[in-house]
Amino acid sequence: MKTKIVFLLFFVVIGIAATAFRTSNDWLFVVPRGWQKPAYNFQQNPLHKQKIELGRALFYDPLLSKNGMVSCASCHSQYSAFTHGDHALSHGIHDSIGTRNAPALMNLAWQRVFMRDGAINHLDMQALAPISNPAEMGESITHVVAKMQATILYPRLFAAAFGDSVITGERTLKAIAQFMLILVSSNAKYDSVTRKQAVFSEQERKGYVLFKKHCSTCHTEPFFTNHQFMNNGLPVDSTIRDLGRFGVTQNPDDSLKFAVPTLRNIEFSYPYMHDGRFKRLPDVLNHYTAIGLQNRTKSHTLAKELQTPIALSSNDKVDLTAFLLTLTDRGFLFNPAFSFPRNIVFETAKD
């Protein structure tokens, strides 16, 4: 009898422990109500608090760059919706200037391909691109691993995350992916209205109607992107000559197409467009109302929704802007779990 009770107790304890672990993982990433299932396969990289913390350390550590000066956060700062605030094009090591505007980072678990042209096929592999780009971090993942092995900090963080202190490229990339996965923005005023916890002002409501009429085909709710590649009629910058998705597929039908960006937190993600050519929201709206009026901006890949200019009065633009500002999620922009890890002292990289 006693043995049976001990056995039962054993299974109860194991059961509670297993549930707690699952609950704890569920807590680390919550699918907002009404949102679809994420594209990311969490079973291949189950979230773990210490792995996320490792990924967070890696995100903020300039050790990832060749000269120890540039971190992921240098071009993706939290307060500007993880973009490079106020920079049309970002600067990497040795003041090198890149060719594209740093995209906002949020809700990446629902995204299947990454970068403005979709060149990266998996969130795990995304970090390799900025680490290796000579105009960004100019480093190699192989050397990053070697540098981390020579620190006191990282063997400890890897051991806490993975159970032993072995540092590999796979573990490094998966940890960075875990940090990026938890960057979920779903608590803007818009979301509160959707959940019937708040109401739009009259101006915001009018703006929402205009948004649904003119913008939502591409900037589809709830992500405010359809995760597609579109040509929105921007003339080619003659100094960069960026043809977007064409560079990846070599398909002429993809010429001048770029990933449709999310509009969440757009108040803080300026400047706008793939090359950051527009500094302010009115510039963006003016582009969409003038598009196609000049033949030089028309190309055969121009989105069909934009073949004729969008008609918006001055008042409409003000209303639409009021709605766009309801996409600001201050809980996301100032979430301490996403900010610089103040409990960690980064060591100077030994090159």
Query: Which residues lie near other proteins (CB under 8 A)?
Result: 41, 44-45, 119-125, 128-129, 131-133, 140-142, 145, 168-171, 173-174, 177, 248, 250
- Nearest CB to other proteins, comparing residues 128 and 160: 128
> Of 129 and 325, which CB lies nearer to other proteins in the complex structure?
129
Closer residue to other proteins in complex, CB, 251/307: 251
Dist CA 255 CA 291 (whole Å): 17
The CA distance from 41 to 329, in Å, is 26
- Write down the least CB distance from residue 142 to other proteins, Å: 4
Instruction: Examine residue 32 and say whether the peptide bond preceding it is cis (omega within 30 degrees of 0).
Output: no
> In angstroms, rounded to a whole number, what is the distance separating the alpha carbons of residues 167 and 350?
17
- SS3 at position 71: coil
* CA pair distance 48, 22, nearest whole angstrom: 10
Residue 30 has φ and ψ, to the nearest 5°, of: -115, 130
- Neighbouring-strand partners of residue 77: 83
In terms of CB distance, is 121 or 294 closer to other proteins?
121
Cα 73 to Cα 344: distance, rounded to the nearest angstrom: 15
Q: Which is nearer to other proteins, 131 or 210 (CB)?
A: 131
Is the Cβ of residue 250 or residue 315 nearer to other proteins in the bound state?
250
Residue 250, phi-psi category: left (phi > 0), alpha (psi -120 to 50), beta (remainder): left
Separation between Cα atoms, residue 201 and residue 204, nearest integer Å: 5
For residue 50, which amino acid is it? Q
Q: How far is the CB of 83 from other proteins (least distance, A)?
A: 20
